[in-house]
Amino acid sequence: MSSDFPKDHEFLLPANPGFIAFSFFVAIMLNWLPWNGWGLILRPDFVALVLLYWCTHKPYRVGIGIAWMVGILTDVADASLFGQHALAYSVLAFGGTVLHRRIQMFDLKQQTIQIFPLLLISYATYAAVHWQVRGFIVWEYFLGCVVSAAIWIPMTLLLQTLRHPRSDPNEL
């Protein structure tokens, strides 16, 4: 079987639930890296990117419920306000699920332009909860949204490459 799938066949590729769970696990581990200084300000939200990828590529497998559960796990992992990430990821999953066909119409460069507003709304939701609880907004946090959108292409290529079925080594 060829490893080059046309764009319209990408949606038809099977998604292993174990691989989906593993991708979320790796994303949470990447968010746990010890960021500090400018790295902390520019840190992309890997969990949000993986969630958005799965919501746009497999909206019937990964949706708002999964986003809520992953958000709760991220809240516990980050020791942040309980439900803050869950709410932001649920908003992101809703946008990704509703717009999955539109996003799939574009190539990866144009997808970046399409997903940036979704990430921005997710970051704004997170910032609004932070503002309601602590009374101020950390505006530098929005720089991470730009970095997250910038790594959409390599992250998507990586997940698509890992998802493709391997060709048979005995095949000519």
What is the structure's pLDDT at 38? 81
Q: What is the pLDDT of residues 5-15, one digit of tens each?
A: 455 555 566 77
In the chain, where the domains are located: 7-163
| Position 139 pLDDT exceeds 70 | yes
> Could you tell me the CA-to-CA distances from 88 to 15, 72, 73, 127, 151 in Å, in that order?
24, 11, 13, 9, 19
pLDDT over threshold 50, residue 18: yes
Q: Flag whether pLDDT at 131 surpasses 80.
A: yes
Its pTM stands at: 0.86
Q: Candidates 3.40.50, 3.30.70, 1.10.1760, 1.10.10; correct CATH number of 7-163? A: 1.10.1760
